[in-house]
Structure 1
């Protein structure tokens, strides 16, 4: 389906008169992605491209409500507690989303449970079905995460579907990698299976790091106003420090899983938790060192 160009014109009209601060620009791009997805749904249902665009923008409402700039809004004050603000701007989850969460959670739990029972020999399952069960469970977890991120919440605007899909893929890779690691640990899979486990987990860490580093603002105006009263941490004051921490994270965990693979093939899988613990401790040390480092002297 071709891109609905009417969305861009109507969105520009909707934002006329709005002070285009960085937060407003971020919100506009987030809204644009959601409107494009909604217009595609309406076109699939039989609307023309222009009608679909107008209906999608009409469903959006006044963008000033999203930005918290409407004149009759009550701005948060220091007397407002965060809990009170949450109650004031509360967004209830949609019924369809709740049903999907329950279904995918059941699939994940059943898949993991049967996979573990098969790996431990309680259920006489061949290796293929065991791998498939962990695959189903990992897919369910990925879908759950991706779907949750596309929902509007009390504090956040919905995430664009492509970016949410990236988080879903990263979750799938992490879960499937851990599943392969479990099969190796239980002896259901030969030692070479740890390579697939490491590849999945490392790929997920890299993808999570990329998505986190490139994430634009999703928080609603009232949340940003409430958080503005809180002291900033170093990563918020110094984006370059956050970027360095992301690079260090990838490096630490890549070396950790490489060490795990070497230990598994040389001295046995029971040494793998030791390497993981060392990697985790080093990662936490780097986090504490960077997050609570002394202030830079001007």
Structure 2
């Protein structure tokens, strides 16, 4: 698939009027990568490149909001993330809720009846278990595929062709496992395990392909929150004077350490030298911890 050049133009327009500080430039490049991935997903779902680019930009929202969030002094706390979830909350559609209940009941009832027949609790023909396992597998597969194709608070809806892939993988995998259970319960002859193996192996291969080719479905606010949460404050970058003091103190520690090593070697013996080295290293670690994690003087 060729690169969607509309993304670059629309992104430049979205950042028009924004002062391009280093942080803003970093954010722009990160957003660009996310938009390219999202546009590719939309194109695979049938959108034209121009439509995909416009929809991806529209889903992004106002970049100034992202910049405001990006300039927060500390990573987001759990309560901040909960507030963002509440702000961007997407209620499940009523139709989907009804379908999910139907698919779930379809799976549970069919699988339960099949097992009861296979174990002899229900006096019904054993051949029914094959069809019932198919019904149960279909119910679970519909539940998975339908769920993935829905928009959620944190994720964009999965394109229908990919959701169909997960539907198929779930169907053949569950059916294969169901046949395996029936064989284990002696409801089906042992040679039927071949069909179970084919279903399970096919599902594993299909799931592996789907997972490997999956792009990021997270919405822009989730990606930004994850980016903020992954940041680690580097005091040495923020306070050059602290970094300078650390360098001076480190030099002093190691000069003293090597001087002590020389004295020990020529007085009491070389076997005492490692002790001085360990002492110098310990002092270095304490200094590093003290200077990196000291109380913020700007607070």
TM bin (shorter chain) = 0.5 to 0.7
Query: Which residues of structure 2 form unaligned runs of 5+?
Result: 15-27, 232-299
1:75 matched to which residue of 2? 69
1:199 matched to which residue of 2? 198
SS at match of 2:69: coil
RMSD (Å) for aligned C-alpha atoms: 3.2
* Divergent runs of 4+, >6 A: 10-16
1:108 matched to which residue of 2? 107
Is this contact kept in 2: 1:145–1:167, CA < 8 A?
A: yes
**1:230–1:201 distance in 2 versus 1, CA, 3 Å:** farther
1:199 deviates by 1.2
State the structure with more CA Rg: 2
* Residue number among 48, 54, 66 corresponding to 2:59 in the alignment: 66
Whole-Å separation in 2 of the counterparts to 1:62 and 1:207 = 29
1:292 matched to which residue of 2? none
2:160 matched to which residue of 1? 161
2:36 matched to which residue of 1? 25
SS at match of 1:143: helix
Matched, 1:214 2:213: yes
Number of residue pairs matched? Answer: 207
2:255 matched to which residue of 1? none
2:234 matched to which residue of 1? none
Whole-Å separation in 1 of the counterparts to 2:183 and 2:162 = 32
1:49 matched to which residue of 2? none
| Paired residues for 1:12-161 under 5 Å | 17=13, 21-33=32-44, 36=47, 63-72=56-65, 75=69, 77=72, 78-81=75-78, 82-161=81-160
Q: Structure 2 length as normaliser, TM-score? A: 0.60
**1:94–1:33 distance in 2 versus 1, CA, 3 Å:** farther
1:188 deviates by 0.2
SS at match of 2:163: helix
Query: Which residues of structure 1 form unaligned runs of 5+?
Result: 1-7, 40-56, 233-298
1:193 deviates by 1.3
Is this contact kept in 1: 2:7–2:35, CA < 8 A?
A: no
**1:24–1:129 distance in 2 versus 1, CA, 3 Å:** same
Whole-Å separation in 1 of the counterparts to 2:58 and 2:77 = 19
Q: Structure 1 length as normaliser, TM-score? A: 0.61
1:125 deviates by 2.4
**1:11–1:33 distance in 2 versus 1, CA, 3 Å:** farther
**1:34–1:17 distance in 2 versus 1, CA, 3 Å:** farther
**1:186–1:62 distance in 2 versus 1, CA, 3 Å:** closer
**1:80–1:87 distance in 2 versus 1, CA, 3 Å:** farther
